[in-house]
Amino acid sequence: MSRAAGNGEFLPGRVLSGVMTEELPESAVRAFERHDAFEREGEGFRLTTSRFGGRVTAVDLGGGVAYTLTVRAPTLGAATADEVGDAVESGWLDTMRRRLEDAPKATRADVALSGFDLEEDGKEVVVTFQFEWDDPDRAAAIAKTFAEYVEGTYVESVVPGYDYEGVVGDLLQGASQGEGGKKGGTPL
């Protein structure tokens, strides 16, 4: 069962109010170590099954645990070999924000976000989800779903007509391949 924290406002750089400890809550550590999609990385866990990755941290709230997932992806302009105009980039960011706010609908759980943010950081877009969940094993699955949702939404949101390169080019190439590596068209 999920529990919403505070007023749902996300403040970048702010940890949900809770009991700050030097270590992650033990229940969260055990759950993420058991999950085959995560590897320990410092004070959190790194998702290994998504091209954009993702990093999850957890905070003991003294009666529950709050999770923060951060996913970094290239901006539209950084993903193309072409020049992307300001209006296109801005519209793309707005569309991504609206679509990513629906990430909880991708889970098979009734999870309410206690925080959400999408911001530019140089040539990257940083997406942050915050949520509380009582079952740490399920929280790991929810975090993985959110990260995969970011990747899938990104691929669905690319603007046709540009020459995509790097990780985004690879994602689009993989999405356009059918079963057995046969060409199957673009995912658009």
Q: Which two tokens stand for residue 150?
A: 């970011």
Residue 158 placed within a domain: yes
* CA pair distance 105, 173, nearest whole angstrom: 27
Residue 105: inside a domain, yes or no?
A: yes
3 state DSSP class of 1: coil
Helix then strand then coil, in percent of the chain rounded to 5, is: 35, 25, 40
Task: Say if 14 falls within a structural domain.
Answer: no
Please name which of 137, 129, 148, 149 lies closest in space to residue 32, comparing C-alpha atoms.
137
In a domain, 9, yes or no: no
Closest listed residue to residue 172, CA positions, set 149, 145, 152, 147: 152
For residue 25, what pLDDT is reported? Answer: 81
Q: Which residues span the domain enclosing 39?
A: 26-181
Residue 5 is assigned to a structural domain of this protein: no
Residues 6+ apart with CB under 8 A from 161: none
Domain assignment present for 104: yes
Span 96-104, average pLDDT: 95
Instruction: Tell me how many domains the chain contains.
Output: 1
- Per-residue pLDDT at 38: 92
Taking only the tens place, the pLDDT of each residue in 59-95 is 988 878 999 999 999 999 999 999 999 999 999 999 9
Tokens of 117: 């943010």
pLDDT > 90? residue 52: yes
What pLDDT is attached to residue 148? 94
Q: Is residue 13 assigned to a domain? A: no
188 occurs within a structural domain: no
What share of the chain has pLDDT > 90, as a percent? 60
pTM, rounded to two decimals:
0.81
Q: What's the CA gap between 188 and 176, in Å, rounded?
A: 9
Q: What is the pLDDT of residue 61?
A: 86
pLDDT digits (tens, 9 = 90+) for 2-45: 333 333 444 333 334 443 444 678 888 888 888 989 989 988 99
CATH assignment of the domain containing 164 = 3.30.1460
pLDDT score for 13: 38
